[in-house]
Structure 1
Amino acid sequence: MIEGYLGRESVCLGDRLAIHVATTAVRFRVDFYRLGSVLEFVGSSDWFPGVAAAPPPHPDGLVEHASPAVDWNWPGYECAVPADWRPGLYLAVFVEESDERVPCTLPNEPGTLRGFGREFFVVRPRPGAETGPILYKKSTLTRHAYNHSDNESQIRGSSLYDNPVYVLDKPTEPRGHKVSMHRPGGINDVAYWDAPFIKWLADNGYSVDFCTDLNLHENPEMLSRYRLLLSVGHDEYWTEAMRAHVERFIAQGGNVAFLSGNTCWWRAHFVDDNTAFVVDTDHHVGTTFPNLPATDQWWTPPSDGVGRPENSLTGVSFRNGGMWPGDWPGDRPRTGFAVQHADHWVFAGTGLRDGTDGRPQDFLGAGTPLIGYECDGAAFEYDDAGIAHATGVDGTPESFRILGLALLEPVNDDYYTMHMSHWNCPAREPEITSPRAATMGIYTANGTVFTAATTDWPVIVGNRLDANVEQVTRNVLNKLSE
């Protein structure tokens, strides 16, 4: 048995990568791979002495459940990151001692990487040596919130969602659910969202740099060296600094493509020298809610929340979208987005129609699980011609243009109420004043912001399930990275 985690999930070329590993083997090494068109083996570390280590016990005395809230403090090792590696998203695969020093065998298709005993990290270029105009933000906060710290033989069930720890009245940090980023857990999120989309980017000739949420949080000048920021997949947790840096980037003419859903739903706070974070959410601890209303909800008016609707950044909000009940990622209706404004440059080369020519309205992504499993929407109303317009009552910018709608019907009780142990929107917003719909759209505020409004946009693109969704993605990337 071998498992581990990284001291920090981002490193610059030529620096050293801190790795923490627990193993029952006498020796182990780390094999490194870069994600791209194929999974490229780039080298191995030296052999390290193996040391067994146990996870910290859960503070509530829950047997077999480790604490998600503290540094696991496993033995540390360092590996050099050669200066001649290329920037990108990499895998560190922990390999127990064997008779031959050979690369670990992994599938060569990036979309088949689910498993334990491995972690991802970002290799950044040195400032001034950026690869191109596009920066891909890996949503590491969300990854850690959902990380159960399981391994191949044990379900520990320790996360922000499973047996969480709520911290009260500490002078050095805010109250809320606490999650350490120094825990193992595997790379299911990378396998599902990132690997297929990164392969598609490489296959289509896009050279991108990568960063983590912590990079964006710590470095206000990083965005100024790019034209386009990508938010990909499930991007739920944002700090004040992350949001401020992106909003300033847009105000100064930078562009953002939210190829993501459930985006910027909770405000997080880095603590413990930026190795952990705290967020006051509506998750159960045991059988109770520690604090309601949860004060780190971005859109909820103060003092019950932050009072800064995520719509003002993204154009859309999870409260006007939703999630599908059932196992992750779950099946859901495959209607796609009803197309509006088919003459917009976003739809160039697709041949899609919006019904204004008297012919039937087309649906982008119809027949694929494009919508969800979590998706965001804007409050809207129809005009006399049947065109949907954002009302702005929820904070969506005035210039937001709805390019596609996916009505979330029929609505069931799970849709609005208890799901995944959330104290959901009806308690905060009992009057539902707009139809719930995933809302693809775009707005301009010096810079331009496109939102796909669904977690699974990169899955459809990366797995090449719909040619028109791919074409829209090319149009967005090409136009906004100019």
Structure 2
Amino acid sequence: MRGTGRRRFLGLAVGAAAGLTACGPGGKPGPGPSAGLRAGAVPADPSPSASASASASASTVSENARPGNADWAVTKAGPQQAIEGFADRVSVLPGEQFGLHVSTTAAGFTVSAYRMGWYGGARARLVWKSGRIAGRKQPAATVDQKTRMVRTGWARTTAVDTTDWPEGSYLLRLDADGGAGQRYVPVTVRSRSTAGKTVVVNAVATWQAYNEWGGYNLYNGPSGGLPTRSLQVTFDRPYQYDDGAGLFLTYEAPLIALAERLGLPLAYVTGVELAAEPDLLHGAAAVLSLGHDEYWSPEQRQHVTAARDAGTNLAVLGANCCFRRIRFEPSDLGPGRVVVCYKGAYKDDPGYQAGKPATTDFRSAPGADPESSLLGVIYDGYPVDAPYVVTNPGHWLFAGAGVQKGDSFPHLVGVEYDRVNTGFHTPRPIEILAHSPVVCEGRHSFSDTAYYTVPGGAGVFASGTMRWVEALDAQGPGGGGDHGMDAKAGAFTQKVTENLLRAFAAGPAGSAHPAADNVAAVYGKG
């Protein structure tokens, strides 16, 4: 349901347009869903908190047993300004209200709220639909002269009440009168508790970092590169691209569909709450970082690290995770609605001048703390397109995948990748499951899928490739769609992800599956 043009844009053009250094720590990104995930069953022992997780699992199963709505997709986007909008809350608890700020050239529009999941393959359920709402064209956006942050200043169009909405990731579809245009507005109805659950984290800060609505994001400005990029970006604006969904459909929806089909006890949050609430992950079975989750605040990293140390498993189903250090600040509409990241210009940041951490890469001074100390792998470069090569076929995560040593899956490694590099702090013991040769702008390296365990019992998995979640939906013979990934890549990633999610939902994975270090065997040195 997503065009190959969008994939190609996200996978290749963004980094080039941003004027970033390829194949190095400053290098840049990569990225829709189709259908066809394999059936799964509810785990026999889903989590450490049996009663809470059994209830949550039953809730997931019963929710996805409801009839889905296959007509949820944006099929008639129309001109860019035909209709577009944003929510004034990134997330809400069930029963809370949020405002929609909508601009349209049509006389009226409707709003349809779709909860994204499995739903027998339909992928979404219509939870609520508005009556017709009067439309109007909102004023043009302005750009802050100092930070080049785009501001809309749009008035609230309507309020939405989430009473009786189940927790989950939602896309609100705006439909202008007469089929003039459609756009999504994403919002998360977040979980009150994560105890005993597998926590899906919507990577909203990263969505916003790449959002070039109004001509600016954290990579590009009118000049097409860093000199005129924004230093801050706000959630108080629509998402650009063809449908308004940010990066959600490419990097997150396929995994959510699989997890909900398996009947796992799930919780839903965003990185904004992980930063703001130190105890949010208390008792969580696992935390899932999906696809492209690059922008983290120090507080989010601290809270996820503490959860790992307390026995919560961590799965990084992408690459380039936890790479940029950010700060959340308030906007006129509320707290946590501005993402601050000065990157190399951090000395110009008033927050840094006031004593706050530098909003630059985590691995960079001042306060360098490479992401590998949490993830086990470290970001190594962009762009690549390479086969995924199995190194350790007997690993429990590959059970039932039917792979042998040296088996490969074309195009599964890309467009950004991570590797194990003991030149940076790397938790041990760590196992390398797949060791895939890559050539990035002439430099030879490797993409590694890795798994490590910690004394507290938690297991940490990192796919090492940004295409992992996308691959869950890969089907057919390959070719132009899905970056050329074929049905074999889809079946492989589905099976491995099923194994991973079931094991991580059952509690601290290191207790049942301790890592056996093989770095020296793979790299020839420890």
Give your verdict on TM over 0.5. yes
- Measured after TM superposition, the shift of residue 229 of structure 1 is 0.5
Distance 2:177 2:345 in 1: 41
1:76 match: secondary structure: coil
SS of corresponding position for 2:496: helix
* CA deviation map 1:22-66 (0-9, x unaligned): 1233333311111122222222124433232133233569xxxxx
Contact kept, 8 Å, 1:45 with 1:79, in 2: the verdict is no
CA contact (8 A) 1:51 1:75 kept: no
- Counterpart of 1:453 in structure 2 is 464
| 1:193–1:458 CA contact under 8 A, matched in 2 | yes
Does residue 14 (structure 1) correspond to residue 14 (structure 2)? The answer is: no
Unaligned runs of 5+ in 2: 1-81, 347-357, 476-486, 507-526
Deviation, 1:448, is: 1.2
Partner residue in 2 for 1:346: 397
Question: Is it true that 1:297 corresponds to 2:344 in the alignment?
Answer: no
Structure 1 distance, partners of 2:280, 2:343, is 29
When structure 1 is superposed on structure 2, of 464-473 and 8-17 the one drifting more is: 464-473
2:463 is matched by which residue type in structure 1?
Answer: A
Q: Quote how far apart the aligned CAs of 1:11 are.
A: 1.0
Deviations 1:290-349 (A, max 9, x none): xxxx8611112x33xx3101000111111xx21127xxxxxx23x213322x33211222
Kindly report the root-mean-square deviation, in angstroms, between the aligned alpha carbons of the 2 structures.
Answer: 2.9
User: What amino acid is aligned across from residue 374 of structure 2 in structure 1?
Assistant: L
Counterpart residue number, 2:59: none
Pick the aligned partner of 1:324 from 349, 360, 383.
383
Whether the 8 Å CA contact 2:324–2:359 is kept in 1: the answer is no
Query: Is the counterpart of residue 179 in structure 1 residue 241 in structure 2?
Result: no
Distance (whole Å) between structure 1 residues aligned to residue 286 and residue 323 of structure 2: 22
Q: Which residue of 2 aligns with 1:148?
A: 212
- Per the alignment, residue 387 of structure 1 pairs with none
Distance verdict in 2 for CA 1:398–1:336, change over 3 Å: same
Cα deviation, residue 164, structure 1:
8.0
How far off its partner does 1:205 sit?
A: 3.1
Matches within 5 A, 1:181-200: 181-185=235-239, 186-200=244-258
SS of the aligned residue for 1:370 comes to strand
User: Which of these residues, 483, 494, 497, is aligned with residue 470 of structure 1?
Assistant: 494
What SS class does the counterpart of residue 90 from structure 1 fall into?
Answer: strand
Which one has a larger percent helix, Structure 1 or Structure 2? 2
Shift in alpha-carbon separation, 1:253–1:127, aligned structure 2, 3 A: closer
CA 1:472/1:127 → structure 2, altered by over 3 Å: closer, same or farther?
closer
Q: Determine whether 1:362 maps to 2:442.
A: no
Q: Deviation of residue 116 (structure 1)?
A: 6.0
For 2:273, the equivalent position in structure 1 comes to 215
Offset of residue 352 of structure 1: 2.4
Which residue of 2 is the match for residue 405 of structure 1?
A: 435
For residue 404 of structure 1, what is the amino acid of its counterpart?
A
8 Å contact kept, 2:329–2:339: yes
Q: Structure 2 CA distance, aligned partners of 1:316 and 1:337? A: 17
Number of residue pairs matched by the alignment: 383
Please give the secondary structure, in 2, of the residue aligned with 1:309: coil
Report the counterpart of residue 47 of structure 2 in structure 1.
none
C-alpha contact 1:200 1:462 (8 A) present in aligned 2: no
Query: Any idea what SS the aligned residue of 1:351 has?
Result: coil
Whether the 8 Å CA contact 1:68–1:183 is kept in 2: the answer is: no
Residue identity opposite 1:311 in structure 2:
S
Map residues 61-460 of structure 1 onto 2, 5 A cutoff.
Answer: 69-97=149-177, 117-127=183-193, 133-149=197-213, 156-163=214-221, 177-185=231-239, 186-272=244-330, 273-282=335-344, 296-300=360-364, 302-303=365-366, 306-318=367-379, 321-324=380-383, 332-333=385-386, 335-340=387-392, 342-354=393-405, 361-363=406-408, 366-367=409-410, 369-379=411-421, 392-409=422-439, 411-412=440-441, 436-445=445-454, 446=456, 447-460=458-471
**Distance in 1, Cα, partners of 2:209 & 2:148:** 9
Percent identity over paired residues? 28
Amino acid across the alignment from 1:125: S
Aligned-partner SS, 2:452 = strand
Letter in 2 for 1:133: K
Q: For residue 431 of structure 1, what is the aligned residue in structure 2? A: none
Distance 1:78 1:116 in 2: 17
Q: TM-score, normalised on structure 2?
A: 0.67
Q: 1:64 aligns to what?
A: none
Q: Which structure ranks higher in relative contact order (CA pairs < 8 Å, sequence separation ≥ 6)?
A: 2
SS of aligned partner of 1:453: coil
The secondary structure found in structure 2 opposite 1:470 is helix
Could you give the per-residue CA deviations for residues 261-299 of structure 1, whole angstroms, max 9, x where no partner exists? Answer: 111111000112311011122499xxxxxxxxx861111
What is the alpha-carbon distance in structure 1 between the residues aligned to residue 219 and residue 152 of structure 2?
Answer: 18
Q: Which amino acid aligns with 2:419?
A: G
The code of the aligned residue for 2:407 comes to: D
The TM-score normalised by the length of structure 1 is 0.73
Gaps of 5+ in 1: 62-66, 99-103, 106-114, 150-155, 167-175, 285-293, 326-331, 355-360, 380-391, 416-434
Whole-angstrom distance in 2 between the partners of 1:189 and 1:472: 23
What residue identity is the alignment partner of 1:373?
A: V
